[in-house]
Amino acid sequence: MLAAGILDEPTLNLDVRSIRMLADIIRGWKKSGKTELIAEHRLHYLATIADRVIYIEDGRIAADMPAREFFRKLPREIEQMGLRALAPVNFDRMTPPPVGDSMLELRDFHFAYRNTPTLDIPSMSVPVGAVVGILGSNGAGKTTFARCLCGLLRKARGTVFMDGAAWDRRNRLRSSYLVMQDVNHQLFTESVEEEVLIGMPGKEAENTARAEKILSDLDLLPFKDLHPLSLSGRQKQRVALAAAVASKKELLVFDELTSGLDYLHMMEAAEKIRYLSSLGKTIFLITHDPELITACCNFFLFFERGKIQWSGGATAEKREKLRDFFAAEEQ
């Protein structure tokens, strides 16, 4: 029987229920005398588990302290260290969605896998230019919805309207960009810069300058000549984000964009999302990241068993629903 274990980002892409289950498993290991080394960005669930915290910066141990001392640090100190929140997120800071008549609408939107219904949306309306948080437990139908919305699943049925104009599957394929949960499936070129350039319309010289600006904003410019698959998982995610920003598509969908990202790079991603929204892009974020939600989301779709259970802007009622959903992480 192993006396020790190493966990590298074990909560990556896990929903709140799964994080609680993982925490219980780790407590059981600890109680049985096993030593666990956990490399992690999501820290709150470790507050009652960890005994010691080691903070690494630029490949060196910058701090080594008892967990009790670390978890007493002020939120500002944690942010300055580039770490994620230790306490529940404040959802009261979110902004309202765009105001206007332009809407993205779905009607009788359905999908079945091997004759088993997995998506059932009679109707849905989202303001054009909104940043939409797609929430729900793992297996609720969020990724299936994203793939159908972008036109990637041929058997999806229903009608999509963008600002009153009907978008068939071909329109959606042409006008949308999906960043997958596993970005390894969509990195094809020989260099990071080529990956950003490949989907850019316009003149080559202008595109190169714009691509380098996007890469610089996402801390990727030093890696522009490297093969995308040679980068770390977090860097690959930022390359995929850079390609989405460069694409100039009207509809952008990100599946767990910030999984594994530290606080600094999560906020950089949120800033890019807000910028794209200001240009009128409609953005869907499948996420379990409450800090990303507070940083940029202003509209929500909550999925359960392939259906939208509730939706709407960041009203007091919806903020309370968000608190209830994420409160499970703190229990």
Same domain, 58 and 199: no
Residuewise pLDDT in 10s, the chain (331 residues): 556 689 988 887 788 888 889 999 999 999 998 999 999 888 888 989 999 999 998 889 999 999 999 998 888 888 888 888 887 788 888 888 888 889 999 999 999 988 888 999 999 999 999 999 999 998 899 999 999 999 999 999 999 999 999 999 999 999 999 999 888 888 989 999 999 998 887 777 788 999 999 999 888 999 999 999 999 888 898 899 999 989 889 999 999 988 878 888 899 889 989 999 998 999 999 999 999 999 999 999 999 999 999 999 989 999 999 999 988 544 4
User: Phi, psi (5° rounding) for residue 259?
Assistant: -60, 125
Question: Residue 48: which domain range?
Answer: 4-87
Domain end, chosen from 87, 118, 135, is at 87
For residues 29 and 101, membership in a common domain is answered with: no
Q: Are residues 312 and 169 in the same domain?
A: yes
Nearest to 270 by CA among 222, 224, 238, 302: 238
pLDDT score of 145 = 96
- Contact by Cβ (8 Å): 15, 137: yes
Q: What integer pLDDT is reported at residue 43 of this predicted model?
A: 86
Q: Do 79 and 160 fall into the same domain?
A: no
pLDDT for res 109: 96
CB of 276 within 8 A of CB of 217? no
Residues 75 and 97 in one domain: no
| The model scores a pTM over 0.95 | no
Rounded to 5 degrees, what are φ and ψ at 195? -60, -35
Structural domains of the chain, count: 2
Q: Which of 53, 71, 87 is the last residue of a domain?
A: 87
Give buried/exposed letters for 212-238 (b at 16+ CB in 10 A, else e).
bebbebbebeebbebebeebeeebbbb
Give me the pLDDT at residue 328, please: 56
Q: Which two tokens stand for residue 49?
A: 């588990």
State both tokens at 78.
């944690």
Does one domain contain both 171 and 311? yes
Structure tokens at 89: 């997120």
Measured distance CA(300)–CA(293) in Å, rounded: 9
Rg (CA), the chain: 21
- Residue 27: predicted pLDDT: 93
Sheet holding 116-127, edge to edge: 116-127, 103-113, 157-162, 165-167
User: Final residue of a domain: which of 36, 67, 87?
Assistant: 87
